[in-house]
Amino acid sequence: MIVVAENGFKSENNYFKMGDVEYEMVELLRRLSINRPVAYTLTCLSKGEEISSQCIEMVSGLRQPEVSIAMRYLLENNWIDMREEKKNLGKGRPVKLYKLTVPMETIINTIEENVMAESRTVLQNIERLKSLS
């Protein structure tokens, strides 16, 4: 039985799965030159719910180092917040939980600004090449 969890991911036996909308979001981010781990991680976080890195690994199929690299990038951009929660029995490492600190719209606007800036630079380079030839 598949149900839609509060965070929007389809859940079967408490494991989240990405649906068509999430895969389309990843593909669109990839087309905008967002690397694969960041695209999958952003998509997992896009529903606004707090999520563990282990859950992101399961949902996205990313490996732990890929999720860590993506999280570092998202933290550097101040797009997410991280907190640690002790496990039930208190043994082992705490679980790291992540949540977006800004709306996805703000992140998308930032990506748009970066793409526009890169496009302007490319056009300037083309114009300069034309003037040199």
Per-residue pLDDT at 91: 75
Nearest to 37 by CA among 9, 45, 12: 45
Residue with tokens 């114009």: 127
Mean pLDDT score of the chain, rounded to an integer?
Answer: 87
Residue type (1 letter), 118: E
The residue ranges of every structural domain in the chain are 3-102
Average pLDDT over residues 20-26: 95
Classify domain 3-102 by CATH number: 1.10.10.10
Per-residue pLDDT at 10: 44
Tokens of 108: 């998308």
Per-residue pLDDT at 119: 95
Per-residue pLDDT at 93: 82
Tell me if 53 sits within 8 A of 68, measured CB to CB: yes
Bridge partners (DSSP) listed for residue 69:
none
51-107 confidence digits (pLDDT tens): 999 999 999 999 999 999 999 999 999 999 999 888 777 677 888 899 999 999 999
Per-residue pLDDT at 17: 73
